[in-house]
Chains A and B, each alone.
Chain A
Amino acid sequence: MHRKVIIIGSGPAGLTAAVYAARANLEPLVFEGSQPGGQLTITTDVENFPGFPDGIMGPELIEHMRKQAVRFGATCEYKTVDRVDLLSSPFTIWVKDKKYTADTIIISTGASARLLGLDSEKELMGYGVSACATCDGFFFKEKEVLVVGGGDSAAEEAIFLTKFASKVTIIHRRDELRASKIMQDRVFDHKRIEIMWNSSLDDISGTKDSGVTGAMIKDTVSGDTKKISCDGVFMAIGHIPNTSVFKGQLDLDDKGYIITKPDSTYTNIPGVFACGDVQDQTYRQAVTAAGTGCMSAIDAERWLEEN
């Protein structure tokens, strides 16, 4: 199957690109990927997206965007891209063994929660280990949980989890939080949140049957370790861009983000554009993702006219 525009990723960047490309009669095809809707689908209230004075639920906002794109002729498919060839034109994309070609590709694959990389973390993910407090907090009513991290998202998750958990302990490597002042104040003032400073999570104990039962915490100053008991562990240690499928073909920075040319969404390959969190480690907002998504569709449309 051949398309003028294929969009990889379905968060606010990809869907805004789809709205614009569809309105330009480019009939874009959107591969929604393994987390359709992206990170907005694991948030609750979005209070800072312009146009919604009372806030809107993340998943609902995404649903609106998808409907808007489809209304103008975009096709959205629940498929995940396995392999790409961006080195010859037309570009080729494989979903399993099925091949698609495109004149232009817009990459909006976003970023995913970073994990520590422990075997126990992987083993117990979904069994007490979580990267999404809004999704899983409910299952920790009157339980004791840890939040690993020290930024805004760690503070937000900790505060959210106090709705359910009897005790929330933030495990943070340093002796101060990176979170914004307002979030820090909310954390410090909260009776059920404790902070373990200069601490790192070294291991998680538990089984799939029992769930998480405890964690090994290391003092980053003295190097001493101690075991504490807990029922859940929530990871909030930042994000990593979803670019593994493009490695070796697109220019990425040392953290794996796609490098775009200043004031545009152009990548190093003409005809391939990138928008949203996959190329942004500074702003990372729904509205900035949507903004660069719009830019990428306009860039693609002009590029198609000229080539």
Chain B
Amino acid sequence: MAENVIEFNDQNFDSDVLEAGTPVLVDFWAVWCGPCKAIAPIVEEIANDYNGKVKVGKMDVDRNNQVAMRYGIRSIPTLLVFNNGEVVDQVIGNVGKESIESMLNKALS
């Protein structure tokens, strides 16, 4: 079910996210975060819907705090959209599928 959701970490972030050839959606989360659990199935759906067009992955902030600190994450879930190595859009909190889709559609257009 989650096969299209990649696990990002501090080590692979630069190569897998910043240097990716497509837009990338990164879901910053942690196991103790309730809203993150609520948003996880939505992120999985998005990963399947946008398979091949957008890379979708999760970043556990507990185990990978370097990237979370670099982007000033102070609340989770935070979803960042990267394109060509830059943050092009972001949402904080459990915002619903449509808001995420509209971010991705904008990044793809």
Contacts and interface: CB of A to CB of B under 8 A. Distances in A.
Interface in A123-169: 125-128, 130, 132, 134-136, 138-140
A120 to B, nearest CB: 15
Given A34-B94, A34-B96, A78-B97, A136 B35 contact: no
A211 B62 CA distance: 20
Contact of A37 (B38, B45, B75): B38
Contacts of A139: 73-75
Contacts of A125: 75, 92
A16 to B, nearest CB: 17
Contacts of A126: 74-75, 78, 92-93
B30 interface: yes
Given A41-B37, A78-B97, A211-B74, A134 B92 contact: no
A63 interface: yes
A37 B96 contact: no
Nearest to B78: A126
Size bin of chain A's contact surface: 35 or more
Interface in B61-109: 61-62, 72-76, 78, 92-98
B42 interface: yes
B34 A134 contact: yes
Of A41, A62, A134, A208, the most chain B CB neighbours within 10 A belong to: A41
B33 interface: yes
Interface residues of B, number: 26
Contacts of A58: 34
B26 to A, nearest CB: 15
Given A59-B38, A138-B30, A211 B72 contact: yes
B67 to A, nearest CB: 13
A135 B75 contact: yes
A249 interface: no
A80 interface: yes
Contact of B72 (A35, A41, A127, A232): A127
Of B42, B75, B98, the most chain A CB neighbours within 10 A belong to: B75
A209 interface: yes
A35 B92 contact: no
A211 B75 CA distance: 11
A43 interface: yes
Of B35, B73, B78, B97, the most chain A CB neighbours within 10 A belong to: B35
B54 to A, nearest CB: 18
Contacts of B93: 126
A80 B99 CA distance: 11
Contacts of A74: none
Interface in A89-112: 96
A134 B32 contact: yes
A42 B34 contact: yes
Contacts of B32: 44, 134, 138
Interface of A: 33-37, 40-44, 57-59, 62-63, 78-80, 96, 125-128, 130, 132, 134-136, 138-140, 208-209, 211, 232
29 contacts: A34-B95, A34-B96, A36-B94, A40-B34, A41-B34, A41-B35, A41-B38, A41-B94, A42-B34, A42-B35, A58-B34, A59-B34, A59-B38, A62-B38, A63-B37, A78-B42, A79-B97, A80-B98, A96-B98, A125-B75, A126-B75, A126-B92, A127-B75, A132-B35, A135-B76, A139-B73, A208-B72, A211-B74, A232-B74
Interface of B: 30, 32-35, 37-39, 41-42, 45, 61-62, 72-76, 78, 92-98
